[in-house]
Homo-oligomer: A and B are copies of this chain.
Amino acid sequence: MIGGGGVGQTLGAALRAQGHDVVIGVRDPSPAELAKARSNAQPLADWAAQTGGRVGSFAEAAAAGDLIFNVTQGQHSLAALAAAGAANLGGKVLVDVANPLDFSRGMPPFLDPALSGPTSLAEEIQKAFPQVRVVKAFNTIAAPVMVNPGLIPGDHDLFIAGNDAGAKAEVAAIARSFGWEGIVDLGDIVGARATESLLPIWVRLWMTGGSPLVNLRVVRS
């Protein structure tokens, strides 16, 4: 996990519960920092004690992982991945869960213009790390729903996009292990524009409906 907030802790705990070794990487893995509450999440020292997972630097997490999750705030993802190091990321599969949301004008957030429109965060990550096999996934739902889609009853969908079919199959298998049945493949990494663009309506449905336990279902003729 590149990033130690609520999303990384939730995905990491679910993968630990399946028996995987998990390392959460953060910018500053000092004991003092690990004792502090994270935004919307418990201290990482508590997470490690509860799950048996480890915490280290961005570079340590990237070096340890066979599969990497980018779970940083999207406007900081490129810097965090640079700190993780291209050599440590190598040709690994990187699941990009982040969204380039700009909260500088308060609520609702909007997509950072530098990372949206005719591009997306996932595409910029793929450009910056051409050997990494980037798969955009899990970025359109709340963290608890990512690892437990049954929290929202009925059929609803998970969107994935990426250039490497094998990498997408690996990520889809993890999603199925969490209970996902509706997995919609949006093609190459350009499809990430479509799913990052879902954040405005997801936030709006949360704000107007009162719960982040909301998702979408694709309906075709």
Contact = CB atoms under 8 A, between A and B. Distances in A.
Interface of A: 102, 105, 108, 110-111, 113, 116-118, 151-156, 159, 184-187, 190-191, 193-195, 197-201, 203-205, 207-209, 211, 213-221
A187 B207 contact: yes
Contacts of A113: 113, 117
A117 B110 contact: yes
Nearest to A111: B117
Contacts of A209: 220
A208 B208 CA distance: 31
Given A105-B118, A195-B201, A218 B208 contact: no
Nearest to A185: B208
A218 B205 contact: yes
A216 B214 contact: no
A113 B221 CA distance: 32
B221 A153 contact: yes
Contacts of A110: 116-118, 193
Nearest to A216: B216
A216 B205 CA distance: 13
Contacts of A117: 102, 110-111, 113, 116
Most buried by B among A185, A190, A197: A197
A213 to B, nearest CB: 4
Given A110-B118, A198-B197, A204-B193, A219 B105 contact: no
A220 B213 contact: yes
Given A200-B194, A204-B194, A219 B220 contact: no
7 contacts: A113-B117, A152-B220, A186-B205, A194-B201, A198-B201, A211-B221, A213-B220
